[in-house]
Amino acid sequence: MTSHDPESPLPERLPALERELHELADAPFRIPESEADTLRAEAHRHVGRFRMRLVTRRAAAAVAAAAAVVVIAVVIGGGPDHQSPLEVPATPVAGDATGDGVLDVRDAYLIDWTLQQGAPAPATGDHDGDGQVEAADARAIMDAIVALEGGR
């Protein structure tokens, strides 16, 4: 190696630096083939473990996302007035055509719509108790709703 000479101009030092670099780069450095095979095998194992961890993390993230969607659907899904299909009203409500245990505009609409379609309306839609579900039941339901809301 050459000694450091602060007085030496840079162009004169370049050939010496170039020689030193060539000496370092040309040094024989060979890995025996058996060691190279071992290194390659270890690199493949490492990459395989990395890929497996990546796949596992992605699968776990997908499961967590699906679980979050289910929780959101259950919590928010039906809104505040939603009644679970498993809940059965304690006492039947006369005129409850939808069967949700609540007398509301949906019952009147269902009765009116099914009658207009020429289909039989649900038997639970009989609001006046005469044994028939007819347009008069839908009107009576609407009158009852308006009366309950203070409209009449």
Q: Which of 31, 61, 76 is the last residue of a domain?
A: 76
pLDDT above 60: residue 148: yes
> What is the domain extent for residue 71?
10-76
Number of domains comprising the chain? 2
Q: Which CATH number fits the domain that encloses residue 117?
A: 1.10.1330
Threshold 0.75, pTM exceeds:
no
Domain shared by 152 and 89, yes or no: yes
4 is a domain residue: no
Q: Which of 42, 76, 110 is the last residue of a domain?
A: 76
Residue 103 vs residues 46, 57, 96, 133: alpha-carbon distances, Å: 66, 50, 5, 15
Domain shared by 152 and 94, yes or no: yes
97 burial class (0-12, 13-18, 19+ CB within 10 angstroms)? buried
Q: What is the pLDDT of residues 97-112, one digit of tens each?
A: 888 888 888 999 899 8
Q: What is the pLDDT of residues 8-34, one digit of tens each?
A: 456 677 778 777 877 776 656 677 888
Domain shared by 72 and 34, yes or no: yes
